[in-house]
Amino acid sequence: MAFRNDQVSEKETEKILELAREALKVEGDFVEFGCYDGDTSLALASEIVSGRALLSSSNVFRPKLYLYDSFEGLPEKTNEDASEVGRDFVKGVLKVSRRDVKARFLRAGLPVPVIKKAWFSDLTDADVPEKIAFAFLDGDLYESIRDSLKLVEKHLVPGAIMVVHDYANPALPGVAKAVDEWLLYKNLKTAFCQSMIVLYL
């Protein structure tokens, strides 16, 4: 099932789904921080559904998809996000409604994920699934990426895969700064695909 995506390139989407298929072999749920209008979310949900059918019947774990977004658009930038080429990324941009995202899943005939409306800074450990096998972080700004990394890190299981969008996007320099700070004292295998960084646990 193909879904349009105006925020993530076709090559990036293909890579995300390839990694998602790998993560289905690990016991854990899927999370997306910064789902916007659900383009990537729908593709992930479809992959989970088709992947379930391929899993051995002896595998009793069935991953769920969790989406997190303010549904208020971007928050205020901080100094870490300053960029001349990123002037269009202002407070309130990329605003969509939770209702519209849910409606897209219903129209597509896909299971509606757990959708949490909140600023990432207001989320707690209890809002995140106990075990995470795949995490897609697309918060665009320094504090959003920093906060989502803090939320998922204790829940990532061995073999989990995390993808951070816009790591190499000069319009959003805060993303790379937040990831680099988080990685400073960690020894993880990394890979890159266009603007994305992939982290292997």
pLDDT attached to residue 77: 93
Residue-wise pLDDT for 147-194, tens only, equals 999 999 999 999 999 999 999 999 999 999 999 999 998 999 999 999
Domain extent listing, the chain? 10-53+61-200
Kindly report the CATH number that applies to the domain delimited by 10-53+61-200.
3.40.50.150
What's the sign of the alpha-carbon dihedral 94, 98, 99, 105? positive
Neighbours of 86 (CB within 10 A): 19
Pairing assessment for the beta strands 132-137 and 156-164 based on DSSP bridges = parallel
- Torsion angle in degrees (nearest 10) through CA of 193, 190, 154, 143: -60
Q: Is the full-model pTM beyond 0.85?
A: yes
User: pLDDT tens digits for 81-131?
Assistant: 999 887 788 886 788 999 999 999 999 999 999 999 999 999 999 999 999
Taking Cα atoms as reference points, which of 192, 187, 133 lies closest to residue 164?
192
Model pLDDT for residues 173-185, shown as the tens digit of each residue: 999 999 999 999 8
Q: Is the pLDDT of residue 53 over 90?
A: no
Separation between Cα atoms, residue 11 and residue 92, nearest integer Å: 27
Whether residue 31 is predicted with pLDDT greater than 80 in this model: the reply is yes
